[in-house]
């Protein structure tokens, strides 16, 4: 009996450890840090330089559950009736998305780029992997309409966790002004991604990955409000009938490329898929800037005029 109790305590302690690693904001050793020094050799130098120099409006909003103040950059495009809502990835901040702000500005869009709750300057205790944040994004959509009027046409765009958030948002009841979605390298579900990372980062076999992920899921339910399996991009995509462009790096090992095919099959609306040749996770734009812009521009031109 004592041995059983000891084993349970060990697994529970390990579950809390992995919850902290995965869901509590802070430095993550498994994430590669990108240089903040802008170099002319950067393939997106022009876009990043533009973002550093352009004036940004500060927008603030209470989260959908009224617990936290959220922080966003808004960059207007003169007399535009089109707005792109740009969603950062895991432990990214709105400033990391400047190259995408520039991309959409070049295409004639206003851009609204919020820090997700618990990231950047937005308040929050835990990372919700898009499942919690999806309600915040719906509220940001309504904020854009309140500010810019009912004639706005909106696209929701996200990278990595922001991409999963985009897909999860797509399954909500949304204003008619949301015309399309663009997602870049998102996962099929929170549970799938955490199980994958447990195997890759810790070389963890099926046991003890099970039951550790299940224990983490239970902790997440108590602290964040949902079981990991509930955070499903695929289930939300089953409810989506709006157009969606799927982008994924051909050599993505952080969010495996194979996940995009399941997501692509799940959505019910008009759709396109582009696999960026040889690109790793969230590097498709840097590796193929002209092709990336062309795919986004040509897809959205069909639905946003």
Q: Is the pTM of this model over 0.85?
A: yes
Phi, psi (rounded to 5 degrees) for 101? -55, -45
pLDDT digits (tens, 9 = 90+) for 111-164: 999 999 999 999 999 999 999 999 999 999 999 999 999 999 999 999 989 989
Looking at the 3D structure of the chain, how many domains does it have?
A: 1
Phi, psi (rounded to 5 degrees) for 63? -60, 165
What pLDDT does residue 198 have?
87
pLDDT higher than threshold 70 for residue 35: no
pLDDT higher than threshold 90 for residue 110: yes
Strands 110-114 and 82-87: parallel
Residue 215 placed within a domain: no
Residue 243 placed within a domain: yes
User: Helix and strand tally (H, E) in the chain?
Assistant: 11, 8
User: Tokens for 142?
Assistant: 């309504």
What pLDDT does residue 279 have?
97
Residue 175 placed within a domain: yes
pLDDT level of residue 188 (50, 70, 90 thresholds): very high
pLDDT higher than threshold 90 for residue 207: no
Domain that holds residue 113: 40-191+227-301
What pLDDT does residue 34 have?
63
Q: Which CATH number is 241's domain given?
A: 3.40.50.1820
- Average pLDDT (196-212) is 83
Residue 272 placed within a domain: yes
């Amino acid at each position: 009996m004592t041995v059983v109790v000891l084993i349970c305590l060990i697994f529970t302690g390990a579950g809390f450890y992995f919850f902290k690693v995965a869901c509590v904001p802070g430095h993550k050793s498994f994430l590669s840090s990108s240089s903040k020094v802008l170099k002319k050799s950067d393939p997106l130098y022009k876009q990043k330089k533009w973002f550093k120099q352009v004036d940004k409006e500060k927008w603030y909003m209470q989260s959908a559950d009224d617990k936290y103040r959220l922080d966003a950059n808004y960059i207007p495009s003169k007399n535009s009736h089109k707005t792109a809502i740009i969603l950062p990835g895991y432990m990214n901040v709105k400033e990391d998305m400047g190259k995408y702000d520039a991309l959409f500005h070049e295409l004639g869009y206003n851009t609204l780029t919020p820090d997700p709750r618990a990231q950047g300057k937005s308040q929050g205790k835990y990372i919700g992997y898009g499942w919690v944040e999806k309600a915040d994004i719906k509220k940001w959509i309504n904020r854009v309409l309140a500010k810019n009027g009912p004639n706005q046409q909106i696209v929701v765009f996200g990278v990595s966790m922001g991409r999963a958030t985009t897909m999860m948002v797509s399954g909500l009841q949304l204003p008619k002004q949301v015309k399309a979605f663009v997602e870049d390298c998102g996962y099929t579900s929170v549970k799938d991604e955490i199980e994958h990372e447990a195997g890759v980062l810790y070389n963890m076999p099926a046991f003890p990955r099970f039951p550790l992920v299940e224990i983490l899921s239970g902790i997440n339910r108590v602290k964040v409000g949902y079981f990991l399996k509930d955070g499903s991009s695929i289930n939300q995509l089953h409810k989506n009938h709006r157009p969606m462009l799927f982008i994924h790096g051909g050599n993505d090992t952080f969010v495996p490329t194979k996940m995009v095919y399941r997501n692509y099959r799940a959505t019910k609306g008009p759709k396109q898929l582009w696999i960026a040749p040889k690109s790793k996770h969230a590097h498709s734009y840097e590796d193929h800037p002209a092709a990336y812009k062309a795919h986004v521009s040509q897809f959205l031109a069909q639905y946003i005029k």
